[in-house]
Copies of this chain bind each other. A is one copy, B any other.
Amino acid sequence: MQRPDEKKRQLIAATAAKLFATRPFHKVKLDDVAAEAGVGKGTLYVYFKSKEDLYFWLIYDAFSQVIEQLESQLGRGELSASQTLRRIIAELVKFGFDNPQLFELMRSAGPRIKDERWETKRKELVTLIEKTIRRGNKSGEFDDPHPEITALCLPGFMRSVMLFGSRGLDERTVVVQITRLVERGVCGGEGSDKNDKRNVAVATGRNGR
């Protein structure tokens, strides 16, 4: 009896990922995916139940991988919040560099392709970051008044750099810079809040549009 071939599934997935990263969802033809992967169109439906299912699997898989990777890295020993945050950043950047098309891929389809499993995974990641910052706040390493916003921003960094950064950027540089941005934002100290508020008020206080 012929068995489903995991290699083939991966081949199809990889091919689809490449195409979805190149053009928007609605311009990717399953005929093309099949042709490019060197399989029959019908075979696609052996491994995936629909075009959307295929696309979703791609993203979901990537997310699961990062999170799994992160958790295995962090769960190992007991790290300080600061060290943990650095690990997270390094790991995320590494993952991005290892999967350079991932962020293009995520742009292929738009909002609300149903399913919340995707959203769940995303939140998992953000929460992981947020908790780390909160831990740092408690331990005195950090003093971030809005861990939830900062946590939200970190993946945004990644995205920006991976999507729009010049090709010349190397991984180390990116890690250092993002670490710098986040860590300083997160730490307490200079740049008093009073000062912040005054200046921000100046910048904000204008006529509404």
Asked if A2 lies at the interface with its beta carbon under 8 angstroms from chain B, I say no
Asked if A181 lies at the interface with its beta carbon under 8 angstroms from chain B, I say yes
- Residue pair A189, B190 in contact (C-beta under 8 Å): yes
CA distance in complex: A26, B27 (Å): 9
CA distance in complex: A196, B184 (Å): 11
CA distance in complex: A26, B112 (Å): 12
Q: How far is the CB of A178 from chain B (nearest CB, A)?
A: 8
Asked if A111 lies at the interface with its beta carbon under 8 angstroms from chain B, I say yes
Instruction: Please judge, given known A-B contacts A90-B204, A110-B23, whether A161 and B177 are in contact too, CB under 8 Å.
Output: no
Main secondary structure of the interface of A (DSSP, over half): helix
Closest to A169 in B: B149
Interface size on A, residues (CB 8 A): 73
- Residue pair A108, B108 in contact (C-beta under 8 Å): no
A: residues with CB less than 8 A from B are 20-26, 69, 73, 82-83, 86-87, 89-90, 94-95, 98, 104, 107-113, 122, 126, 145-146, 148-150, 152-153, 155-161, 164-166, 169, 172-185, 187, 189-191, 196-197, 199-200, 202-204, 206, 209
Give 11 A-B pairs besides A95-B209, A108-B110, A176-B200 with Cβ atoms closer than 8 angstroms: A23-B112, A94-B204, A145-B177, A149-B173, A149-B174, A152-B165, A153-B161, A156-B156, A172-B204, A176-B197, A181-B184
Chosen A-B contacts, 6 in total, with CB atoms closer than 8 Å, are: A26-B109, A83-B199, A108-B111, A152-B161, A179-B196, A184-B184
Q: Contacts of A24 on B, CB cut-off 8 Å? A: 25-26, 109-113
Instruction: Please judge, given known A-B contacts A104-B111, A203-B83, whether A161 and B181 are in contact too, CB under 8 Å.
Output: no
Q: Contacts of A20 on B, CB cut-off 8 Å? A: 110
- Residue pair B181, A150 in contact (C-beta under 8 Å): yes
Closest to A114 in B: B23
- Residue pair A191, B187 in contact (C-beta under 8 Å): yes
Q: Contacts of A113 on B, CB cut-off 8 Å? A: 24
CA distance in complex: A153, B160 (Å): 6
Q: How far is the CB of A189 from chain B (nearest CB, A)?
A: 7
